[in-house]
Amino acid sequence: MNADIAAQIGQLRDQIRHHDRKYYVEAQPEISDRAYDLLLRELRDLEQAHPECITPDSPTQRVGDQPVPQLHPVRHRLPMLSMDNTYSAADLEAWGTRVEKLLAAEGISPAAIGWMLELKIDGVAVALTYREGILAQGATRGNGSVGDDITHNVRCIHGVPLRLALASPPELVEVRGEVYMANSALVTLNQTQVQEGLAPFANTRNVAAGSIRLLDPRESARRPLRFFCHGVGDTTGLGVESQAGLFAWAQTAGLPVAPRSQRFATLEALIEGGTDLIEELHTLDFEVDGFVVKVDAFGQQRLLGQTSKSPRWAIAWKFEKYEATTCLAGIRVQVGRGGTVTPVADLEPVELAGTIVRRASLHNADEVARKDVRVGDVLVVEKAGKVIPHVVRVEKHLRKGDLPVWAPPTECPECATPLVRDPEGVFIRCPNLACPARVRERLKFFASRNAMDIEGLGDKLVEQLVAVGLVRDYADLYRLSAADLIPLERMAEKSAGSLVGQIEASRGRGLARLLNALGIRHVGRRVASLLAARFPSVDALHAATLEELAAVEEIGPVIAATVHDWFSSDYGRQVVESLRERGVSLESLPADITPQTGPLAGKTVVVTGTLVGFTRDEAAEAIRLAGGRPATSVSKKTDFVLAGAEAGSKLEKAQQLGVKILSEEEFVALIQEAKGG
């Protein structure tokens, strides 16, 4: 064979593997599907003309010619164990405490333990064996000890490299992961099924589970399966010592890894990160039914070992998921207090998680376009954990006719102001600060329990006040009289007088609550408390430089810039002065300011369990008054743990770290110094 032909074939294979990696591993395609197909066709034509050049790892060899007669059993070199699971953060903390105890017995401190958070993909577990970098075998999990040989179908999955992209691959590596199907792929597949007179598939997991065990690889190739790597089994010469290191190696080798995998230094930080991440799962195009939490270091995993069924170093942190199918009656938009315009799906009422659901979030205009959601469509709606329902996918095979494409508004539906798109390009906003919708939402938040805590000023009443023109900004609330309120719906003399009293009481809530209530971007309860503790008045805060703001612990330059810009703006100055005129306190309360002296000066205190004489907020206030800093998680930097009844994992961790434990009686005796004895 001509050396030039061999070189051309080699170059084409390298190009195709490069583009496979950019598309399936990095999600950053560089060429169009058509350009990719032309490269593949050119390679296939050359190989057909020179069949002696065809090798098993060539990109053209993904689909075999003939079906296999049956699936043969494969015994796993190392068992593919199932995991224990939990549905609560408290149980996850208890598991983490057990892990720390076991490793402490081996001389490993909690500070030396890293924790990995990974998405738990709702697919089918498989093991892929590579010898000298070449895919040799694929097998299902089966019963954990013996699975089925599915090599013929695994070769059809484009995300599975037939050859690892490594100059010096390990002698042997068994890669473990999940075969799944994207929601968008199921939409297209079901359209094809119906067009061919076949029944549509119910969900992505059923398709993946059935497709991977088909005898005919050509049929399996029609179903666009994907793969994510999440671990390894038997290996020789891998040279990786942690889960985080494995993921870095896998991406170098051309193996896809699930997005959002992250390492945390503490389990508390992981739980916080996972809780936040649940809110973003709607952006993924595949099904997730929880997280997998692992000890990061392989050496520590080996020390922890396993039970007969499960590894001790990993656990599934799952959340309840509920799905329902219903029809989309309409799409409307809501304007938030920050001006964000959010599309909302109005649904035909459907039962979901024991309640009747009539609305679901569509999040933003880009998501509506990506999922091709149209009024009249049949939708799959999901609720996961405590998150509000969202749209998973459109059942396009049930679409009746050519439904019109939804177009996002160009003007605010409330005030007709032209909308603007965020620099990030995801959200559209109404820039009009006087927009009635923005005013309503700002006032609702201002009156809420964690802000100015104006009891009786509920959402419906706020809407009435804005609609009749009684209230246009925060200061207007403090001009209201009982006579103004009595004519309103569901208002009487007694309830009107009570509300006026609540509004009056809110004047003295203090700077920390006020800062939170104003809805300044990035300023929640925690940041508001930090600012109020450092700057005892609005005037001091307004006079603070960017550098002074950024120097406050936990603030940083981004939040500092947001706060500085707000107080320097015409709107911010107008809000502050109008509240000052109405007698609203613009100064920190004693409870907002951490004393520089006291029995707990400079000390970090964590509260756990149930206290008799304090709520959690009252205990935190007492700690601050005594000069201390209340915290939520136990670490080596914790000075005291105040333990009440039924104290759990935080108490156990404090005992392991040697942190001093205070009973409620000891705590009360200690803080008396701050109150003058």
| Distance in angstroms (rounded) separating the CA atoms of residues 480 and 474 | 11
| Range from 377-381, 382-386, 446-450, 585-589 carrying the lowest mean pLDDT | 382-386
CATH number of the domain residue 476 falls in = 1.10.150.20
- What is the reported pLDDT for 588? 87
Domain termination residue (choose one: 559, 592, 625):
592
Query: Are 175 and 163 spatial neighbours (Cβ–Cβ below 8 Å)?
Result: no
| Residue 100 falls inside a structural domain | yes
CA dihedral for 151, 153, 155, 161, sign (positive or negative): negative
> Which structure tokens are listed for 408?
């996002």
Nearest to 661 by CA among 643, 634, 637: 643
CA dihedral for 466, 469, 470, 472, sign (positive or negative): positive
Parallel, antiparallel or unpaired: strands 660-662 and 640-643? parallel
| Range from 197-201, 302-306, 364-368, 422-426 carrying the lowest mean pLDDT | 422-426
- Crossing angle of helices 616-625 and 664-671, rounded to 10°: 40
DSSP tag of 131: E
Parallel, antiparallel or unpaired: strands 420-421 and 428-429? antiparallel
| Distance in angstroms (rounded) separating the CA atoms of residues 590 and 536 | 9
For tokens 């500070």, the residue is 111
Find residue 324's DSSP bridge partners.
381
Question: Are residues 49 and 155 both part of a single domain?
Answer: no
| Residue 66 falls inside a structural domain | no
Question: Are residues 554 and 441 both part of a single domain?
Answer: no
Quickly state the pLDDT bin for 58 (edges 50, 70, 90).
confident
Question: Are residues 500 and 521 both part of a single domain?
Answer: no
Quick: pLDDT tens for 332-378: 999 998 899 999 999 999 988 778 889 998 988 888 999 999 999 99
Kindly tell me if the per-residue pLDDT of 529 is higher than 90.
no
Question: Are residues 15 and 158 both part of a single domain?
Answer: no
Give CA separation, 87 vs 275, 290, 308, 385, 499, in Å.
Answer: 12, 9, 22, 9, 41
**Phi and psi angles of residue 571, each rounded to the nearest 5 degrees, phi first:** -60, -45
| Residue 431 falls inside a structural domain | no
CATH number of the domain residue 161 falls in = 3.30.470.30
| Enclosing H/E stretch for 578 | helix 570-581
Count of structural domains within the chain: 6
- Crossing angle of helices 33-49 and 3-20, rounded to 10°: 150
Find residue 118's DSSP bridge partners.
292
CATH number of the domain residue 23 falls in = 1.10.287.610
R_g of the chain computed on alpha carbons: 30
| Distance in angstroms (rounded) separating the CA atoms of residues 122 and 428 | 32
| Residue 68 falls inside a structural domain | no
Question: Are residues 312 and 174 both part of a single domain?
Answer: yes
Kindly tell me if the per-residue pLDDT of 485 is higher than 50.
yes
Kindly tell me if the per-residue pLDDT of 64 is higher than 70.
no
Quick: pLDDT tens for 499-516: 999 999 999 999 999 999
| Residue 80 falls inside a structural domain | no
Parallel, antiparallel or unpaired: strands 428-429 and 340-352? antiparallel
**Phi and psi angles of residue 390, each rounded to the nearest 5 degrees, phi first:** -140, 165
Question: Are residues 534 and 638 both part of a single domain?
Answer: no
SS3 for 231? strand
SS3 for 219? helix
Domain termination residue (choose one: 266, 286, 318):
318
Question: Are residues 191 and 266 both part of a single domain?
Answer: yes
Kindly tell me if the per-residue pLDDT of 215 is higher than 50.
yes
Question: Are residues 162 and 282 both part of a single domain?
Answer: yes
| Distance in angstroms (rounded) separating the CA atoms of residues 644 and 89 | 19
CA dihedral for 270, 272, 275, 278, sign (positive or negative): negative
| Residue 197 falls inside a structural domain | yes
Nearest to 99 by CA among 672, 641, 675, 656: 656
CA dihedral for 500, 501, 503, 508, sign (positive or negative): positive
SS3 for 307? coil
* Position with higher pLDDT, 564 vs 43: 564
Domain termination residue (choose one: 375, 401, 427):
401
For tokens 């649904």, the residue is 347
- What is the reported pLDDT for 410? 94
* Position with higher pLDDT, 625 vs 457: 457
Quick: pLDDT tens for 415-427: 999 999 877 667 8
| Distance in angstroms (rounded) separating the CA atoms of residues 373 and 60 | 36
Question: Are residues 311 and 336 both part of a single domain?
Answer: no
Question: Are residues 127 and 155 both part of a single domain?
Answer: yes
Maximum average pLDDT range among 60-69, 395-404, 421-430 = 395-404
Quick: pLDDT tens for 615-646: 776 787 778 777 777 777 788 788 999 988 77
Give CA separation, 633 vs 607, 644, 654, in Å.
Answer: 9, 15, 10
| Residue 667 falls inside a structural domain | yes
Quick: pLDDT tens for 234-292: 999 998 999 999 999 999 999 999 888 999 888 888 888 888 888 788 888 899 989 99
| Range from 50-54, 198-202, 379-383, 403-407 carrying the lowest mean pLDDT | 50-54
> What rounded mean pLDDT belongs to the chain?
88
Q: First-to-last CA distance in the chain?
A: 97
Query: Are 438 and 340 spatial neighbours (Cβ–Cβ below 8 Å)?
Result: no
Question: Are residues 488 and 396 both part of a single domain?
Answer: no
DSSP tag of 306: B
Active-site amino acid positions: 120
| Residue 338: half-sphere exposure toward Cβ, Cα within 13 Å | 12
| Residue 674: half-sphere exposure toward Cβ, Cα within 13 Å | 23
CATH number of the domain residue 374 falls in = 2.40.50.140
Question: Are residues 193 and 176 both part of a single domain?
Answer: yes
Parallel, antiparallel or unpaired: strands 640-643 and 604-608? parallel
**Phi and psi angles of residue 224, each rounded to the nearest 5 degrees, phi first:** -70, 85
| Residue 427 falls inside a structural domain | no
Query: Which domain, by its residues, includes 273?
Result: 85-318
Kindly tell me if the per-residue pLDDT of 33 is higher than 80.
no
The beta strands (E) that lie in 237-384 are given as: 262-264, 288-295, 314-318, 321-335, 340-352, 355-361, 378-384
- Crossing angle of helices 570-581 and 556-568, rounded to 10°: 70
| Distance in angstroms (rounded) separating the CA atoms of residues 254 and 238 | 15
Kindly tell me if the per-residue pLDDT of 674 is higher than 50.
no
Provide the whole-model pTM: 0.68
